[in-house]
Amino acid sequence: MEALLASIAKNIFVIFGLLAVGGATAMVASRSAVHSVLAFLFAMLNIAGCFLALGAEFLGMAQILVYAGGIVVLFLFVVMLVEMAKGKETNKAVFTAQAKVAAPVVVAGAFAFLAVFKDTVFGASAAQALTLKPGLAEGLDVARNNAQAVSRGLFADYLLPFEVLSVILLVALVGAVVLAKTERV
Amino acid sequence: MNGFAAGLWESLVSGSKLIWPQIFLTFAATVMLWPADLFVEKARKHVWAPITMVILALTGALIYLTEPGVGFSDMYKVDGLTKGFQALIVLAAFLAVMLSQKLLDALREQTVEYYALILFSLVGMLTLVGATDLMTVYFSIELMAICIYILVAYLRDQNRGVEAGLKYFLLGAFSSGILLYGMSLVFAAVGGVTTNLAELNRLLPVVPQSSSLLVFSGVLMVLVGLCFKVAAVPFHMWSPDAYEGAPTPITAFMATAPKAAAMGAFLRVFGTGFAGVSSDWMLPLSYVAGASMILGNIAAVRQQTMKRLLAYSSIAHAGYMLLGVLGKGVDNAQAVWLYLLTYLVMNTGAFAVVIILQGKGEGERIDDFRGLAKRRPFLAFAMMMFLLSLAGIPPLVGFFGKFYLFKLAVESGLTTLVVIALVTSAISAFYYLGVVNQMYFKEPADLPEGAEPEVLSTGMTLIVGVTCVLTLVGTLAGPWLVNTMFRITWI
């Protein structure tokens, strides 16, 4: 029993990963859109589990909040509204025609990408890619204090792009209103 | 820990001094949207135009007062280049707002959002020309572009406008993806330590051999992304449609302000960030510049509508301006600035004439310009001056800008491209003069009964008059312009 638990703890990342892949497959394969969304939710929760297993608690929690909490609910709303408006429309043969061509192209593309960027993606420098600048990491155990490290990156180093991003979100809202509003003047 | 927090606060305070114009604009635009708009009646929305002009004038003053400096952990820098291009952008926006007022009144499409979106796009552009970090470059480009996608589709009752907006948005989103991917490759190539332009310039030339392909593809993708924003061939497909479908004042705005901002970014990213690896991008960029001049000018010959003609002409002008990027030095950046200034004057004038004619339900097609000299001698004369100046005929101001740019390009050894530029300039004179021919030597198709008196709004007359005078005698201000130009530096 002890040994079994230990091996589970050791491979927890792989377990979550496989469950996520299962969820994603179920999402693509299921006939009903609502089932698809629920499978998507399952996959997202398992990806959050993967993050947690890797010690990235902040990312894991953000994943649950944003995807499981926000986006999936939004999807469900849309799916239900559309289904009510449209009734059932079965269109099974959407991807079958392209799949024969697309699958080899995607696989070949992935291999070409790996062949070209193998050194960079798996090279010596890859591990340091997302570390904080030394000045920002001062007095902070980055590995332990995930959320603090993210906040330092966001509000100290990348403050200006972050603020510009907030204006972009505002503009997107205004734009949606401008383009969707019916009456004017 | 307290030391860290205190340092953060200090850098925030010193950094915010650099972006007062942007802070002011964001604040003003947000207040305009809410709550100020609640107090304006539906029939009186046109008051937002003068208010926007006041805001823009104040922004100009703030830009003038901003002290040079570096802030936000080296992500943003105020120097001569920043201030010079920011002034151009604010001027372009000011003129666009002035052009907008009457047209939107006529279409009954006045809203506060229109003006607020112009101001928000300005925030992106002002940040873009001062950006010294790829992250800032990317996000400010996005802010600028998203506002303009919406403005292009602003007249959403017209199919043409919606189509233009959607096309521009899809292609723009795609090119943003390429730009971002290129940036990530460059980031990876230097070992994933920095996106700062000065640091990149130091690190890029010394990357190990195994990463050189990464640098090449990354730099090339950034090049593609920026070429899309300045509408250089072969990434120009969106521009004729977007120019035609957008409300005409927005077309005038798109042809000047975002172009100036993207050129500023181009000069800074390639002049300071990627200068060390110039062998990677010089050849592709010179092909892009040459193709823009050739295709832009030749395609313009066959256009039937004025806005499409001006769109292709702006593609060709982008090609000329890329000569300045290829020249690399600070003096070339100055020449590009001068070129943009002269282009802003004559282009705004030309669009103002188109807008005035559009108010009467004409001016879209080149045929509408038939016999304009008889009907409206002043407008026809002004239009002729703008077109001749766009063609670069001396002694008009367009020649002044072109001459300086080409002279520096020859000195940088870009002889072949300058020869192409001169030949294509001659081709451009052909189609510009074609319009002049329509105005002066053709009889009007159907002269309305009873000669209509020239009724122009004061604002439009003012714009056409002032830009026409500037086009005519701008060259006389040459010494002063050159003096101002020498302040455009990035050191």
CB contacts of A184 in chain B (<8 Å) are: 108-109, 111
Residue B234 in domain: yes
**pLDDT for position A150:** 79
Which residues 165-204 of B have a C-beta within 8 angstroms of A?
A: 165, 188-189, 191-193
Closest residue to A165, CB basis, from B4, B73, B139 = B139
Can you tell me the distance from the alpha carbon of B161 to that of B169, in angstroms, rounded to the nearest whole number?
12
**pLDDT for position A169:** 94
Contact yes or no for B443/B369 (Cβ under 8 A): no
Which residues 124-153 of A have a C-beta within 8 angstroms of B?
A: 125-126, 128-130, 138-139
Determine which of B11-25, B412-426, B460-474 has the lowest per-residue pLDDT on average.
B460-474
Q: What is the least distance, in Å, from the CA of A116 to any CA of chain B?
A: 8
Taking the Cβ of residue B30 and every Cβ of chain A, the question of whether any pair is shorter than 8 Å is answered with yes
Q: Would you call B100 helix, strand, or coil by DSSP?
A: helix
**pLDDT for position B455:** 56
Q: What is the least distance, in Å, from the CA of A9 to any CA of chain B?
A: 32
Residue type, position B201, single letter: N
User: Is there a contact between A129 and B139 if contact means CB atoms under 8 Å apart?
Assistant: no
> Where does the pLDDT of residue A166 fall: very low under 50, low under 70, confident under 90, or very high at 90 and above?
very high
What are the pLDDT digits (tens) for A104-129? 888 898 888 777 766 655 555 444 44
Domain tally for chain B? Answer: 1
Q: What is the least distance, in Å, from the CA of A156 to any CA of chain B?
A: 7
Mean pLDDT across chain B: 89
**pLDDT for position A127:** 47
User: Is there a contact between B192 and A159 if contact means CB atoms under 8 Å apart?
Assistant: no
pLDDT of A153 over the 50 cut: yes
pLDDT of B101 over the 60 cut: yes
Cα dihedral sign for B467, B472, B477, B482?
Answer: positive
Domain region containing B345: 2-447+454-485
User: Is there a contact between A168 and B142 if contact means CB atoms under 8 Å apart?
Assistant: yes
CB contacts of A156 in chain B (<8 Å) are: 8, 11, 73
Which residues 154-183 of A have a C-beta within 8 angstroms of B?
A: 155-161, 164-165, 167-168, 170-172, 174-175, 177-179
**pLDDT for position A126:** 45
User: Is there a contact between A120 and B149 if contact means CB atoms under 8 Å apart?
Assistant: no
Please name the residue of chain B whose CA is at the shortest distance from the CA of residue A156: B8
Does residue B487 or residue B313 have the better pLDDT?
Answer: B313
Q: Which helix (H) or strand (E) holds B78?
A: strand B76-78
CB contacts of B109 in chain A (<8 Å) are: 184-185
**pLDDT for position A121:** 55
Taking the Cβ of residue A112 and every Cβ of chain B, the question of whether any pair is shorter than 8 Å is answered with no
User: Is there a contact between B15 and A120 if contact means CB atoms under 8 Å apart?
Assistant: no
Residue A82: how many CB atoms within 10 A of its CB? 12
Can you tell me the distance from the alpha carbon of B301 to that of B427, in angstroms, rounded to the nearest whole number?
8
CB contacts of B140 in chain A (<8 Å) are: 164
**DSSP for B105-165?**
HHHT---HHHHHHHHHHHHHHHHHHHB-BHHHHHHHHHHHHHHHHHHHT--TTSHHHHHHH
What are the pLDDT digits (tens) for B373-403? 888 888 899 999 999 999 998 888 999 889 9
User: Is there a contact between A184 and B4 if contact means CB atoms under 8 Å apart?
Assistant: no
Mutate to test the interface with A, among B1, B2, B4, B78 (most CBs of A within 10 A): B4
Burial class of residue B145 (count of CB atoms within 10 Å of its CB; 0-12, 13-18, 19+): buried
| Interior angle at CA B356, CA B310 and CA B85, nearest 5 | 50
Q: Which residue has the tokens 């649950």?
A: A64
Contact yes or no for B143/A171 (Cβ under 8 A): yes
pLDDT of B339 over the 60 cut: yes
Token pair for residue B298?
Answer: 């030749």
Distances (CA, A) of B361 to B240, B241, B364, B368, B444: 21, 20, 8, 10, 15
CB contacts of B117 in chain A (<8 Å) are: 171, 174-175, 178
Of all residues in chain A, the percent with pLDDT exceeding 70 is 74
Can you tell me the distance from the alpha carbon of B115 to that of B121, in angstroms, rounded to the nearest whole number?
10
Average pLDDT over residues B152-156: 90
- Which residue ranges form the domains of chain A, and what is each CATH number? 1-92 (1.20.120.1200), 136-185 (no CATH)
User: Is there a contact between A184 and B111 if contact means CB atoms under 8 Å apart?
Assistant: yes
Q: What is the least distance, in Å, from the CA of B191 to any CA of chain A?
A: 6
CB contacts of A139 in chain B (<8 Å) are: 1, 4
Can you tell me the distance from the alpha carbon of B337 to that of B482, in angstroms, rounded to the nearest whole number?
10
User: How many CB pairs below 8 Å do chains A and B form together?
Assistant: 107
**pLDDT for position B407:** 92
The model's pTM is 0.87
Residue B326: how many CB atoms within 10 A of its CB? 21
Average pLDDT over residues B42-59: 92
Residue B490 in domain: no
Taking the Cβ of residue A184 and every Cβ of chain B, the question of whether any pair is shorter than 8 Å is answered with yes
Please name the residue of chain A whose CA is at the shortest distance from the CA of residue B144: A168
pLDDT of A68 over the 60 cut: yes
Residues 6+ apart with CB under 8 A from B299: B312, B315
Average pLDDT over residues B177-182: 94
Average pLDDT over residues A139-149: 70
Residue B271: how many CB atoms within 10 A of its CB? 22
CB contacts of B143 in chain A (<8 Å) are: 164, 167-168, 171
Please name the residue of chain A whose CA is at the shortest distance from the CA of residue B126: A164
Can you tell me the distance from the alpha carbon of B51 to that of B98, in angstroms, rounded to the nearest whole number?
11
Mean pLDDT across chain A: 79
User: Is there a contact between B146 and A159 if contact means CB atoms under 8 Å apart?
Assistant: no
CB contacts of A113 in chain B (<8 Å) are: none
User: Is there a contact between A164 and B140 if contact means CB atoms under 8 Å apart?
Assistant: yes
Contact yes or no for B311/B244 (Cβ under 8 A): yes
Closest residue to A179, CB basis, from B75, B153, B192 = B153
User: Is there a contact between B189 and A120 if contact means CB atoms under 8 Å apart?
Assistant: yes
> Where does the pLDDT of residue A137 fall: very low under 50, low under 70, confident under 90, or very high at 90 and above?
low
> Where does the pLDDT of residue B290 fall: very low under 50, low under 70, confident under 90, or very high at 90 and above?
very high
**pLDDT for position A128:** 46
Residue B491 in domain: no
Closest residue to A185, CB basis, from B45, B76, B147 = B45
Q: Contacts by B413-421 with C-beta closer than 8 Å and gap 24+?
A: B414/B286, B414/B323, B414/B326, B414/B327, B416/B290, B417/B286, B417/B289, B417/B290, B417/B293, B417/B323, B417/B326, B418/B323, B420/B290, B420/B293, B420/B294, B421/B293, B421/B319, B421/B320, B421/B323
> Where does the pLDDT of residue B450 fall: very low under 50, low under 70, confident under 90, or very high at 90 and above?
very low
State phi, psi for B313 to the nearest 5 degrees: -65, -35
Does residue B409 or residue A101 have the better pLDDT?
Answer: B409
Of all residues in chain A, the percent with pLDDT exceeding 90 is 20
The closest alpha carbon to A160, from B77, B82, B119, belongs to B77
Q: What is the least distance, in Å, from the CA of A51 to any CA of chain B?
A: 21
Q: Within B302-414, where are the H helices?
A: 306-327, 330-359, 372-375, 377-391, 397-411
User: Is there a contact between A128 and B191 if contact means CB atoms under 8 Å apart?
Assistant: yes
State phi, psi for B232 to the nearest 5 degrees: -100, 145
**pLDDT for position A88:** 53
Closest residue to B117, CB basis, from A119, A159, A171 = A171
What are the pLDDT digits (tens) for B250-282? 999 999 999 999 999 999 999 899 998 989 999
